[in-house]
Structure 1
Amino acid sequence: MKWVNFLILAGVIYKYGHKPFSKFIKGQKEDLSIKIDELESEKARVIGEINAAQTHTEENKQKLIEMKARLIAQGETRKQEIIDQARNQSGIMIEAARKKMENRIIQAKEKLKMELADLAFEQATQKLPQMITDADNQLFIDNYMRGMNVG
């Protein structure tokens, strides 16, 4: 008897619940379909944004590489300019030092000549009075006087 009651209950549920249950299932199916479509479109939008971000990232990487290369080239150029400037400046400094040394050598030579002349004069003033005789003095005086008479 339980089977009969079960079959009757199943028949009543089927007869009166079939259409509302079918409508409910169809409604759920449509709602799920709409949600799936919305999620698919959201997914496509997000994937598009991700792709755009990746493209932008790649562009930025390329710009960074180009900027880095440009900065390195500018740095190398500036480095070479500094090296050239330093070479020029060192050449000028070496030339100035050479001229300064030449001037010091000339001054030292002049000073040495003056000292030698002073030394020679000093020795002459010490030795000549002993070496010059009265006859030599008389000869110098006569020559001086003749020079005075000529002029």
Structure 2
Amino acid sequence: MTALAVSSVAFASEGGGHALFTAENLKDYGLRIVNFIIFAWLLYKFGGAKVKDFFVGRRDGIKKDLDDLQTRKVEAERKLKEVEAGIANLAQEKKQILDDARAQGESIKSAIIEKAKRDAEALTEQAKRTASNEAQAAVDSIRAEMAEMVVAAAEKIVAEKLSAQDHDKLVDDYLTKVVLN
């Protein structure tokens, strides 16, 4: 009905103020309506299922997209909460890492100090042994030197006080002791 009313206004403005419904106009108008009905029926008959499938498919696609968007929104909100929780725990994790690093540093420091003490004790002990060995070597060297000096002094004294006759007697006594023993 609306189509008739709109088209009649269009015909009226075309006619230049003449009568709206003349026989010629009505026949032309009727043919156009019949032509439109046939065209609409042909579209429905041959393309109706495809058009219907298109719109149903489009509706299903939009519904699927909306469901997918809802699922992605829920997933994004879950990830956002995880990130927010991670950010909230960041200060705690930072404190834990610093505490762990501090404890590890103290442990390494203790180990280094303990090793340094052991090394110092070992070096002290080695220095004592070295000093003792050097002192003993010095004492032995002094004793050897003293012995040589005593022998030299004894030889000198004996050479000064011993006559040739005393020397021969001493050699004979010594040889007698060696032969008898």
Specify the TM-score bucket, using the shorter chain as the normaliser. Answer: 0.5 to 0.7
CA distance in 1, matches of 2:132, 2:153: 31
> Which residue type is aligned with residue 102 of structure 1?
S
Give the structure 1 partner of residue 171 of structure 2: 141
Count of paired positions: 104
Inter-partner Cα distance in structure 2 for 1:53 and 1:142 = 115
Deviations 1:22-78 (A, max 9, x none): xxxxxxxxxxxxxxxxxxxxxxxxxxx6x8766433311110000000110011011
Q: Does 1:77 align with 2:107?
A: yes
| Gap regions ≥5 residues in structure 2 | 1-79
Q: Secondary structure at the match of 2:121?
A: helix
Counterpart of 1:118 (choices 110, 124, 148) is 148
Q: Percent identity?
A: 19
**Structure showing greater Rg:** 2
In the superposition, the TM-score normalised over structure 1's length comes to 0.59
- 1:69/1:124 CA distance change after superposition, 3 Å: same
**What is residue 98 of structure 2 aligned with on the other side?**
68
The alpha-carbon deviation at position 97 of structure 1 amounts to 0.8
Q: How does 1:36-47 map to 2 (within 5 A)?
A: none
- Listed as ranges, the gaps of 5+ residues in structure 1 are 1-48
TM-score by length of 2: 0.50
